[in-house]
A and B are shown apart, each in its own frame.
Chain A
Amino acid sequence: MPFDTGDTGASETMLAWKFLERGRVAPFGGHVWPAPGTGAPGPWIQPPGGEVFACRLSDLPWWVNAELWEVELEGPIRMLPTQIAGRRGRLVRRVNGWDDVALRAYGVACAERARDLAVSLFLREGRTADADALRQTRSPLELHRVAQELATDATTPGTATAGYVGASAYRAAEGAGAAAARHAADAAMAADGTPGVLEREIEWQSRWIVERAGLGVATVAAV
């Protein structure tokens, strides 16, 4: 009887998620993924000498892009820290809940979360006027401007965090959700140096994407 290697062989398949650029373009390879047919998945893609990479729901914030697709991976499946890999993969369906509007809203939500962190730090530092100035901003660009003004010196946790808030808000105003989220995570780390802060931030970002894209609890359990 053969030893169990943990490799379930080529018949192993798994549903996962994959971010692509507009037009089903692979962000790093530059090739276009073939679209699914009506009610049927697209053709299998097997990179020569490589693998197809995709996300579990918890991986999504690391790879945010314009389009989100449900993909089927065929094994052997490898679990990596921020993604999963399969021998080949194919597009199953586009997630309609994730589009340019959602991408932009994601960036704004991340910037606002970072702003709230900076506000609470300023209040703790006794800088009520600065906290109010941040709180009263009405748009990402205004948030960017005010945060940058408050971040002229990074001498306190509040001002250091405000610098990242400014960067996050600027990217949010551009509609660059991934960059806004990245700077928001920077803000969280500047605000709170305790272990696990990045993981908590990524978890929050993942929940936001899952809810906005309508990926649902049942799918979370399956993936």
Chain B
Amino acid sequence: MEIAAKVGEVIEASTSEFVAQCYQLHEPPPLGSLVKTKNAPGETYGIVYHAETHSLEPGRRPIARGEEVKEEEEIFRNNPQLAKLLCTDFRALVVGYGEGNRFFHYLPPRPARIHSFVYLCSMDEARNFARSLNFLSLLIEANLAVPVDEIVAASLRHFSQAYDDQQAFLVKAGKELALLLSGELKRLNSILRRLK
């Protein structure tokens, strides 16, 4: 049984999303993956929709250092302070919460807590969560900094890996999308094309 891996810590939280800083530079959970954070009495689930690596201090920007260097890892080896000056954050859109074995595909009553750990859900957990595709309606209507359709497709691609018959899951999800996007054929098409 896979155990969820700890990937970061919440540094901002609201009803609809939370931001977490990663423990490992450049290692955020993949776009569209399902993450969770403790939110007593259960856990809040989110879908990663954005990740960013940037300088810890607002005024300081990274500069190119590798002109003379053959490999990129050398830059970090030659300047060990860099890893301490940069950080990677990711943003997750809240798509539900869970208590025990039950999942609720609507917004939880309270936002996540600052400094709570964020875990990347195992494939088993993702499959259980995705038994109902209701979370798609939350995702489709979200107002995000990145194109929503990309995230919908990324998350479906991610979830499909939890199933032996990936195609069957994608078809099921596709049909759900067809219903949700019944007046928006172009949008449906563009998402479906990204499901490969």
Instruction: Say whether A associates with B.
Output: no
Residues in A lying within 8 Å of B, measured CB to CB: none
